[in-house]
Amino acid sequence: MPHTAVTIDDAFWAPRLRTNRADTLAHLYRELHRVGSIDAFRPNWQWPAEATQRGVWGGTPTMFWDSDVGKWLEAASYSLATHPDLQLDALLDQVIAIIGQAQHADGYLNTWFTSVDPQNRWKNLRDWHELYCAGHLMEAGVAHWEATGKRSLLDIVARYADHIADRFGTETEKLQGYCGHPEIELALVKLARATGEERYLELSRYFVEQRGQQPHFFDDEARARGDNPDDFWAKTYEYHQAHRPVREQDQVVGHAVRAMYLYCAMADLAGAYSDRSLLATCQRLWQHLTTTRMYVTAGIGTSKHNEGFTGDYDLPNESAYAETCAAIGLVFWAQRMLQLDCDRRYADIMELALYNSVLSSVTLDGQRFFYDNPLASNGQHHRQPWFACPCCPPNLARLFASLGQYIYAQSSNELVVHLYIAGAARTEVAGVPVVLHQQTNYPWDGTVTLRVESEGPATFGLRLRIPGWCSGAQVRVNGTAIDLEQSLEHGYVRIEREWQAGDTVVLDLPMPIETRHAHPDVVADVGQAALQRGPLIYCLEQADHDVPLHRIVLDDPAGLTAQAEADVLGGVTVLTGQAVALDTANWQGVLYRAEPPALQPCAIRAIPYFAWDNREAGPMRVWMPYRPQLGAPVDDLEAKRA
């Protein structure tokens, strides 16, 4: 369901989305303007010297400037669509006019390869993000047209897409290439939907199917440039998920954002072409990602080195990369998987990512951002207003500005609620205009009231997600309890009936404080636990504790209570209660000894992970040593010893 059909009117998201529209979009524009990304589209604009200085890999992040502008335009368009703003509308027209000046007669459009490096156009698809930039402009063109009905940017990007279709394909006179950074593939699907032009879908399919084929395009183009393919810095095309054809991939590898964008396109194409084998590939990759290579916050991508995946269960906390864009890409992919397969395993992760690894990336004022989202810190990691490679801030802005689209879904005779966020969805189902009102204090409270408002009775199925983290959920329709065991399909309760205006469904999703434990092969988390309540992962910050965090050991979570604190961190529910701490008494002048440190009771206070680093700097930890784990009874141990 498009975000334009949805209103969000709650205490949690609505203020953040307001900040996104009012402050983040303005901040992004200021920064893009300051560094030159927008002016770079003007003819004869002079690039600052530092913007063209290449790194050891032969490129510079300023090669991707067009994509940042594209993402900002997309975010601003989403905002315009729900919150008309004449000034913003005019600003977009102005920027689009500048972009239009940069388009070549043949449709080509890229600032770097127009004014800095024109001789190298389409010469290094592996590294230089040329099609990636095109993709982000296309997503912007579609969003702008949807928001305003204006074809200005849509026509520009469609002409560019036509140019690309002339240059790329399996025909011998064309380049058999594809982009090192997937993005254009999913953008072309959007362009095809917006324009009704099947050829853009075909071009997307070509890019996806060509990926990883032999002889390998990246090898060939490297040789054509006079480079040795073996000199590629990352040493493996797993980095781009181009190590083998996509249908043969069964492990999530390489750069995490690239992986997510590729899988999005694969899911889109699986749907568009009813391609069961491509869907099966997506399901296999989803399973691999979420059962071996994902942080408990839904952060993904362990390593800074490749901005991506390493090995199964390799999930160190303090050095976790967990890039913001990767978490956002995971939300994109989850939504697409949900459209193909309404299973809560996708929605659970979408929710987990939204409330934790995505939300952690921005301050409450919407103007400072994390690029990487570690699960522990010594106090040195802080959000920044901008980055040399500023991919994350505008990515977050476009996700927030279109958040409405992730909450509901519908088919001709069904309405689905994936997320619990107060507000309403206006749509037509089974031929009847329907407004579904949602009232809740989620994520702080698990009571959700849905009220149907329709012009006359309407017979349709209402599908409601029962989150995987929740036990003991109850659902009542006009006060009558539903038998959940009977009606649960892949984690959704489905209520099919003739709905009358005023019918209400009340979900009660209990939110006890629980510990989360990692698979025993997650070396970083052995003997440790994280705290979770509802969809939120919690963390401890030094700011709330006198005892150094590293000495604190979690005890039974039954000793903790949740309490809403309106004045803390913009209003959050904190978890407080008793834990234990290693005692330093009797350790004066002793570094090692035969007796373990004594444990003393210690009060703790956990805050939602997303809210960390908003007070004085200091250590933070999600995973803490967990006393009941190692103190728990050992199966058969006593018997076997005896």
Residues lying near its own copies in the complex (CB under 8 A): 287, 290-292, 294, 296, 514-523, 526-527, 529-530, 548, 550-551, 553, 559, 578, 580, 582-584, 587, 589-601, 625-632, 634-637, 640-641
Residue closest to 537 by CA, chosen among 623, 420, 457, 618: 623
Q: What is the SS3 assignment for 574?
A: strand
d(CA 239, CA 259): 9
Q: How far apart are CB 585 and its own copies at their closest, in Å?
A: 10
For residues 12 and 421, the answer to whether their CB atoms sit within 8 Å is: yes
Shorter beta-carbon distance to its own copies: residue 49 or 632: 632
Q: How far apart are CB 312 and its own copies at their closest, in Å?
A: 10
Residue closest to 335 by CA, chosen among 428, 409, 439: 409
Shorter beta-carbon distance to its own copies: residue 199 or 551: 551
Catalytic residues: 307, 391
Q: Which residues contact 604 (CB under 8 A, 6 or more apart)?
A: 540, 544, 545, 552, 554, 560, 575, 576, 577, 578, 579
Q: How far apart are CB 622 and its own copies at their closest, in Å?
A: 11
Shorter beta-carbon distance to its own copies: residue 339 or 584: 584
Shorter beta-carbon distance to its own copies: residue 393 or 557: 557
Residue 410, strand partner residues: 415
Q: Which residues contact 621 (CB under 8 A, 6 or more apart)?
A: 317, 375, 376, 377, 539, 540, 549, 550
The neighbour count for residue 629, using CB atoms within 10 Å, is: 15
Kindly state the tokens that stand for 597: 């440190």
The tokens 């949740």 sit on which residue?
562
Q: What is the SS3 assignment for 36?
A: coil
Q: How far apart are CB 593 and its own copies at their closest, in Å?
A: 6
Shorter beta-carbon distance to its own copies: residue 276 or 640: 640
Shorter beta-carbon distance to its own copies: residue 303 or 629: 629
d(CA 282, CA 484): 29
Q: How far apart are CB 287 and its own copies at their closest, in Å?
A: 7
Q: Which residues contact 543 (CB under 8 A, 6 or more apart)?
A: 615, 616, 618
Q: How far apart are CB 617 and its own copies at their closest, in Å?
A: 17
Q: How far apart are CB 356 and its own copies at their closest, in Å?
A: 12
Shorter beta-carbon distance to its own copies: residue 292 or 395: 292
Q: Which residues contact 599 (CB under 8 A, 6 or more apart)?
A: 553, 580, 581, 582, 583, 627
Residue closest to 451 by CA, chosen among 384, 398, 503, 489: 503
Shorter beta-carbon distance to its own copies: residue 43 or 631: 631
Shorter beta-carbon distance to its own copies: residue 479 or 631: 631
DSSP secondary structure, 314-354, as one string: ---STT---BHHHHHHHHHHHHHHHHHS--HHHHHHHHHII
The neighbour count for residue 148, using CB atoms within 10 Å, is: 18
The neighbour count for residue 355, using CB atoms within 10 Å, is: 24
The tokens 């064309």 sit on which residue?
174
Q: How far apart are CB 581 and its own copies at their closest, in Å?
A: 8
For residues 386 and 393, the answer to whether their CB atoms sit within 8 Å is: yes
User: Is residue 385 reached through a cis peptide bond, with omega within 30 degrees of 0 on the bond before it?
Assistant: no
d(CA 260, CA 592): 47
Shorter beta-carbon distance to its own copies: residue 503 or 555: 555
For residues 63 and 128, the answer to whether their CB atoms sit within 8 Å is: yes
Q: What angle do CA 466, 322, 542 make, to 5 degrees?
A: 90
Shorter beta-carbon distance to its own copies: residue 464 or 530: 530
Distances in whole angstroms, Cα of residue 379 to Cα of each of 318, 370, 464, 551 = 10, 14, 41, 16
d(CA 537, CA 118): 48
Q: What is the SS3 assignment for 140?
A: helix
Q: How far apart are CB 598 and its own copies at their closest, in Å?
A: 6
d(CA 629, CA 632): 5
